[in-house]
Amino acid sequence: MIGKRMQDAMNEQIKHELESAYLYLSMVAYLNAEGLDGMAAWMTVQTQEEIAHAMRFFSHINERSGRVELLPLAQPKKEWASPLEAFKAAYAHEQFISGTIDDLVKVAEEENDNPAKIMLQWFVSEQVEEEDSTRKVVELLERIGDSGHGLVMVDRELGARPAAAPSSEGEAA
Ligand code: FEO
């Protein structure tokens, strides 16, 4: 059975992951409105990944006879000055989420919660990937600067991102 402190911390993390999905979905709407459908498709995959992340915590709490509690979500930002600014915000957000995962690892260690420690290792690795993938897009957009042609090329490239894997435990999401 999961302890109360770990359960509360994971319920908080479900909120963080769903707020990530909400933020990225807002970016999808912004990118669609800008006519950048490839970037919007990339961010749609990112949104799906965040929902899969939330579901990992949801399943973990349930499997250990805990109780999931869904907390209120903050309204995400709606507009960005440019696609570069949106992706910079996504990168900063991933860094914030990495910090929340580190905090969870700390709680798991303090509570001597081995199942949580093992489950969280997946997230530690995943956050390395999450930061890397958003940072790479930021660097790509910084490199093309104000080039309209470059933006079209990047939009096409990002549109080729494969769909997110199903949200089951043990599968890459
Ligand atoms: Fe769930 Fe993008 O971190």
Ligand 1 binding pocket includes 113 (Cβ within 6 Å): no
CATH 1.20.1260.10 fits 4-71+80-159, yes or no: yes
Question: Minimal CA–CA distance to 87: which of 167, 155, 150?
Answer: 155
The verdict on the CB of residue 19 being under 6 Å from ligand 1 is no
| Residue 142: how many other CB atoms lie within 10 Å | 11
Contacts of 18 (CB under 8 A, 6+ apart): 50, 51, 54, 70, 73
CA 149 to ligand 1 centroid distance, Å: 30
CA 57–ligand 1 middle distance (angstroms): 12
Number of residues in the chain: 173
**Whole-angstrom distance, CA of residue 93 vs CA of residue 101:** 13
For residue range 16-50, what is the model confidence (pLDDT) as tens digits? 999 999 999 999 999 999 999 999 999 999 999 99
Q: Is 169 a residue whose pLDDT tops 80?
A: no
Residue 172: which pLDDT band, with cuts at 50, 70 and 90? Answer: very low
Beta strands in the chain (DSSP E): none
Ligand 1 atom nearest the C-alpha of 16 is 1
| Domains of the chain by residue range | 4-71+80-159
Q: pLDDT digit string (tens) for 106-165? A: 999 999 999 999 999 999 999 999 999 999 999 999 999 878 899 999 999 999 988 876
- According to the model, what pLDDT value does residue 171 have? 42
The protein residue with its alpha carbon nearest to ligand 1, atom 1, reads 50
Residue matched to tokens 């303090």: 110
- pLDDT exceeds cutoff 60 at 173: no
Whether the CB of 134 sits within 6 Å of ligand 1 = no
Alpha carbon distance, N-terminus to C-terminus of the chain? 25
